[in-house]
Amino acid sequence: MERVDLGRGAWIAYEPAWLTQEEADALQSELTASLPWEQRPIVVAGREVMQPRLMAWAGALPYRYSGQTLDPAPATPTLDALTARVSEACGTTFNHVVVNRYRDGKDNIGRHADAEPELGWLPTIASLSLGARRKFVLARKGRRKSRHLRLAHGSLLVMGGSLQHTWYHSVPKDGSTEERLNLTFRTLIGPPGTRQPGGWVDAMRARAAR
């Protein structure tokens, strides 16, 4: 996949047909039927609300975000194989996957950044989309600058560099009546609160000096 430079060390890459139609159809059907879906509470603007979507996850380490902790959970053989395949495509060893299930266009995820310390300073995060084509919005922090993609069935989006520190992302509500699954693959460097030395600017300078 070809990277798109977003400035200040942030980048994305997008492959609209990373899976074939047949692979994507079969994977969506299997995951929808087999994963243990939950609707969990999160903290937004200081108050607890229920997430407007369902979710499942897998990984040997706990992952904490938005006031909740996802306890370690075993991966199914399908998720294990898919994590290995995505890791190879991205040149990154992912060890945690979150699967969000958007039941229709009312389900959404608000503007946020995946900048938890246990992800490291320059995390690479891969996002595999299955089902309904939905708008993915990137918004530059501190500026009125944004761009968006329509994430296709079977597509793979990769976010890297400083993106989680310089941009927000979201999937807003729309009029869709179809379901969508989104699998996000991450690398946790340790349990919640684990922090690399320095900061993302230091990490960018070190990478540039190699």
Q: Which residues, in sequence order, are bridge partners of residue 146?
A: 139
What share of the chain in percent tops pLDDT 90? 85
Examine the pLDDT at 35 and tell me if it is beyond 80: yes
Model pLDDT, residue 205:
86
Q: Flag whether pLDDT at 157 surpasses 90.
A: yes
- With 90 as the cut, is the pLDDT of residue 206 above it? no
| Predicted pLDDT of residue 170 | 97
Give the chain's mean pLDDT: 95
Map tokens 């994977």 to a residue: 27
Task: Please work out, in degrees rounded to the nearest 5, the angle formed at the alpha carbon of residue 181 by the alpha carbons of 179 and 187.
Answer: 165
User: What is the torsional sign of CA 33, 35, 40, 45?
Assistant: negative
Q: Mind listing the domains of the chain with CATH numbers?
A: 3-208 (2.60.120.590)
Pick the range with the lowest mean pLDDT from 40-49, 71-80, 138-147. 40-49
Tokens at 22, concatenated: 């047949």
pLDDT at 188 (0 to 100): 98
Q: Please check the confidence at residue 65 and state whether its pLDDT lies above 90.
A: no
Q: Which helix (H) or strand (E) holds 33?
A: helix 21-34
Please give the residue that has the higher pLDDT: either 84 or 2: 84
DSSP letter string, 54-101: EEEEEESS-EEETTEEE--BPPPHHHHHHHHHHHHHHTS---EEEEEE
- Tell me the C-alpha distance between 91 and 208, whole Å: 18
* Greatest mean pLDDT among 21-25, 194-198, 203-207: 21-25
pLDDT digits (tens, 9 = 90+) for 177-200: 999 999 999 999 999 999 999 998
pLDDT score of 48: 86
